[in-house]
Amino acid sequence: DAKTTQPTSMDCAEGRAANLPCNHSTISGNEYVYWYRQIHSQGPQYIIHGLKNNETNEMASLIITEDRKSSTLILPHATLRDTAVYYCIVPVPLQAGTALIFGKGTTLSVSS
Amino acid sequence: KAGVTQTPRYLIKTRGQQVTLSCSPISGHRSVSWYQQTPGQGLQFLFEYFSETQRNKGNFPGRFSGRQFSNSRSEMNVSTLELGDSALYLCASSLQGYQPQHFGDGTRLSIL
């Protein structure tokens, strides 16, 4: 199972880009990288996922290195509401389907 | 489109009792997964149901069980409650059991 490593915490000024790194050096060729975030007292929120190409949606961009051993989640213009714990996850294959194994994630603090 | 709905939001029980939690997935989603979140252990996978059958199971004792109905709604039951069962219980749904999973805001269970 591919493990992920993230910094414990990061700070970002409101309006600036937040770049959250993740290492997943043991990822295999067909495993996706997923990003979720959890705001206090709420359930985790799906942000974005990718395999090897860079991805962008209305919430964020995901940059995956060519060797796929690391990735970066980019929130282009962080707001106070982006303060949350961000999880980088490589789903674990099960007998059927997959399961999300959450680590400790990165606590992002956005300040004005 | 309505999101994942979990009821009740809060629940207080005493040791030895049993409890049933409910989850209504996003319309059209057939896979429902359950997770337990505690400060010490983080988010842990309990089990997953698909088409009324438990397909995958995490490493939890048999006191934790669940079921899924024909309309994909799911219930989770915990019998003989222990103090350590105090946690946020999260439900997530997806189309087929692969990602992305979408989470509800959970049921916070407190055991006295």
Instruction: Please list every residue in chain A whose beta carbon sits closer than 8 Å to the beta carbon of residue B102.
Output: 46
The C-alpha angle B5, B8, B11, rounded to 5 degrees, equals 145
Chain A residues whose beta carbon lies within 8 Å of the beta carbon of residue B33: 99-100
**Assigned token pair, A40:** 């206090």
Residues B21-68 have pLDDT tens digits of: 999 999 999 999 999 999 888 899 999 999 999 999 999 999 999 999
Phi, psi values for residue A81, rounded to 5°: -70, -10
Q: pLDDT grade, residue A37 (50/70/90)?
A: very high
| pLDDT at position B69 | 97
A103 Cβ under 8 Å from any chain B Cβ: yes
**Is residue A93's pLDDT more than 90?**
no
Mean predicted confidence (pLDDT) in B79-101 = 91
Q: Are the CB atoms for A2 and A100 separated by under 8 Å?
A: no
